[in-house]
Structure 1
Amino acid sequence: MSYYTLITALPWLPELEQCKQMPLSRIALDQRLTMLLDSDQEQLSLVEALYFPDSDGLQGNTDKQLIALWRAQLEKVESDILRQRIFFSQELVTVMAALRSRAAGLENPELFHGSGRWLPRIRQHWFEPGFGLDEFFPQIRQIQRILAKDNPALLETLLNQMLWNDLVLCERQNHFSYESVVCFVLRWGIAERHIRQHGAEALQKFNQSTSKLLAQAGLHQQLEQGVK
């Protein structure tokens, strides 16, 4: 099928840091995606499930089992371009998991399980600060600094931005193709996650400020009562 009509019906997504609200709901997006063939919709659902794994559905499995399941599902993705996008997302997760595992005291690298081209190098250079990946993955130093600050929100923001950049590049290289449609849907998912994360941060800050104001108000009341 021609994907031109569908792609031109999709709204523009601003840069990730500029996303304050979604340009359309998931229901509206799904309505536009009904223009896809059934086989394309099935592949899209598979790619989304692999790109945004459900943490609740992963419980009860070891890391090794999860990776085996993930690889089996990945083989069902027909587009090599989309497999590479999923592979890249898992490589980022692997790097972060390796850094956390080492910081938690794991001393035997053979007990660490992950995915991607960097796994052998990570195990081989386990005790080096950047696993010997500085030349291939310079962002690892930035990730290390954020992990050292114990700031999960900032780390997720960095991860989302790297995934976003990868998808934007893919869209530009595959104009008006099925891959560009899927990359848009994945970026929509990242944008939604980004907005939800920052919304939660804003709510937390509001609650903290409110608690401080209430505490101050209570203190003032006590002082006033003491004066009386």
Structure 2
Amino acid sequence: MSYYTLVPALPALVPLARLQELPCSTLKLEQRLTMLNEADRDQLSRALHLCQRERIGDETLSDADEIARWHAELEAIEDPALRDVIAEYLQSRTLVAALRYRLSGQQEGASFKGFGPCVWLIRRDWQQPLFGLERRFPWLVKARDALEARQSCTLELMLLERFWNRLWRLEQEQAFSFAAVAAYRLRWALAEYRLRWSAEQAQTYFDRWVGGTLETVDLQLAGQQWTGSEA
């Protein structure tokens, strides 16, 4: 199929901070995405699963097993640009998890499980305020401040915006490609998630998420079941 046909058919998404509603139903969007071939649909499904906030179906996995699954699913994504962006996202989850575990009282980092090339540095420099990674990841300063102030919503919005903007750049850099389509679909999932949450739900959800970032969280919040492909 031609991405030159599909990409222009995808309705524009306004910036996340100004988002009020989706331009069409997710069902209509999925109907348009049936233009993708089977291999592309498989990769897109893997990308959505890797970027879900919750880990539906992974309740019995240990941290180590879940990280191994992340690696396996990421390796199955053939597009290198998309794979790199998702890897950055998974690494950000690891960094926030490390901050949260240490703030909760974990005294040593030798047993910390995470994703990405910085895990050994996190373990080695566990006692440093930001694991010595603040120059490489300047956003960690705001993330730590938000966690210490228990401003869960602030941190959640910051992480959403960072991922959204990275996906948008990927769309621009890889125009009329599978990577652009996948980045758009992941932004759509972020938009769905953002539109559904109230401030109270967001704080409850995020507190549970950062309390077990590499574990599953229960989606039943305040008696309401969340559905869909939240990224």
| TM-score, length basis structure 2 | 0.83
Change over 3 Å in CA distance of 1:87–1:64 after alignment to 2: same
Q: Which residue of 1 aligns with 2:18?
A: 18
In the alignment, structure 1 segments of 5+ residues that lack a partner are: 205-228
Paired residues for 1:122-137 under 5 Å:
122-137=122-137
Q: Which residue of 1 aligns with 2:205?
A: none
Determine the C-alpha separation between the residues in 1 that align with 2:200 and 2:146: 20
| Cα distance per residue 1:86-105 (max 9 Å; x no partner) | 11111110011000111122
In the alignment, structure 2 segments of 5+ residues that lack a partner are: 203-231
| Cα distance per residue 1:128-170 (max 9 Å; x no partner) | 1111111100000000111011122221111100101111111
Offset, 1:53: 5.4
* SS of alignment partner, residue 57 of structure 2: helix
| Cα distance per residue 1:73-118 (max 9 Å; x no partner) | 2221111111112111111100110001111221221110000122
Percent of paired sites with the same residue: 36
Corresponding letter in the other structure for 2:199: E
RMSD over aligned Cα, in angstroms? 1.6
* SS of alignment partner, residue 57 of structure 1: coil
Based on CA coordinates, which of the two structures has the bigger radius of gyration?
1
* Aligned length, in residue pairs: 202
Are 1:80 and 2:80 counterparts?
Answer: yes
Are 1:37 and 2:7 counterparts?
Answer: no
User: Is the CA contact 2:110–2:124 (under 8 Å) kept in the aligned structure 1?
Assistant: no
Q: Which residue of 1 aligns with 2:93?
A: 93
Change over 3 Å in CA distance of 1:69–1:53 after alignment to 2: farther
Q: Which residue of 2 aligns with 1:151?
A: 151
Paired residues for 1:174-189 under 5 Å:
174-189=174-189
Q: Which residue of 1 aligns with 2:199?
A: 201
Determine the C-alpha separation between the residues in 2 that align with 1:25 and 1:165: 22
* SS of alignment partner, residue 110 of structure 2: helix
Determine the C-alpha separation between the residues in 2 that align with 1:203 and 1:113: 27
Q: Which residue of 1 aligns with 2:216?
A: none
| TM-score, length basis structure 1 | 0.84
Offset, 1:201: 2.4
Change over 3 Å in CA distance of 1:101–1:133 after alignment to 2: same
Structure 1 runs (4+) greater than 6 angstroms displaced: none
* SS of alignment partner, residue 56 of structure 1: coil
Determine the C-alpha separation between the residues in 1 that align with 2:201 and 2:178: 38
